[in-house]
Amino acid sequence: MIQNERDARHSHVMAVARQLMTAARTAPKAKGVDLIETILVSDEHLDVLARCMEEMAATRNLPFFLRDASNIRMAECVVLVGTRTGAQGLNCGHCGYDTCGARPKGVPCVLNSVDVGIALGSACSMAADLRVDTRVMFSAGLAAQCLGWLPDCYTVFALPVSASSKNPFFDRPS
């Protein structure tokens, strides 16, 4: 069999994206409690995400969302990583309250947010190891939240994935 890389690229990138989801899942978590959720977005849903980001750019006066929406359209897929909320019961005070019980409803446990960061770092490390391009995007994660794609998550970030001759997520216009 003879196979050109250009013909195999999309299926390879999709397989890599699934590995990024696994890397996020297996990343260390506070107290070993797993509140991380990940999903893979591709095909026509990339345009849905980009259009939502464009609407948010206008309604929230966030012009960098336009640039990021363009990047989403250049990606082959997007991995979304988010966290559900769950107090860890450590009474650490990092959220600004002395105890977990004193933390008002709606104020996230900082350790849950740290877990998302560690999961993103693990996924980005895997992407680098597998030589695909990605970038952590708050903008696309927030748009995904607005679309309700990770319904129980209060913090979501996006990792667009590309395997092209030039990283579309680098040297971006401001």
Q: Is 140 inside a domain boundary?
A: yes
Q: 14: closest CA among 131, 161, 174?
A: 161
Residue pair 68/50 in contact (Cβ under 8 Å)? The answer is no
CA gap 96, 98 in Å, rounded? 7
37 in a domain, yes or no?
yes
The verdict on residue 167 lying in a domain is: no
The DSSP-derived string for 49-66 is: HHHHHHHHHHHTT-THHH
Residue 171 located in a structural domain: no
- Dihedrals phi, psi of 62, to nearest 5 degrees: -125, 80
pLDDT of residue 136: 98
Would you state the pLDDT for residue 97? 94
- Count structural domains, the chain: 1
Report how far residue 154's alpha carbon sits from residue 165's, in angstroms, rounded to the nearest whole number: 35
Domain extent, residue 37, equals: 5-162
- Give residue 173's pLDDT: 72
169 lies in some domain:
no
Residue 168 lies in a domain: no
pLDDT per residue rounded down to tens, the chain (174 residues): 999 998 999 999 999 999 999 999 999 999 999 999 999 999 999 999 999 999 999 999 999 999 999 999 999 999 999 999 888 889 999 999 999 999 998 888 999 999 999 999 999 999 999 999 999 999 999 999 999 999 999 999 999 999 998 888 888 777
Residues 153 and 148: their CA atoms lie apart, in Å, by 9
Look up the CATH number of the domain holding residue 16: 3.40.109.10
Say what the pTM is: 0.93
Cα–Cα distance, 48 to 95 (Å, whole number): 34
Q: Which of 167, 91, 92, 96 is nearest to 127 (CA)?
A: 167
For residue 28, is it within any domain? yes
Domain-embedded: residue 173: no
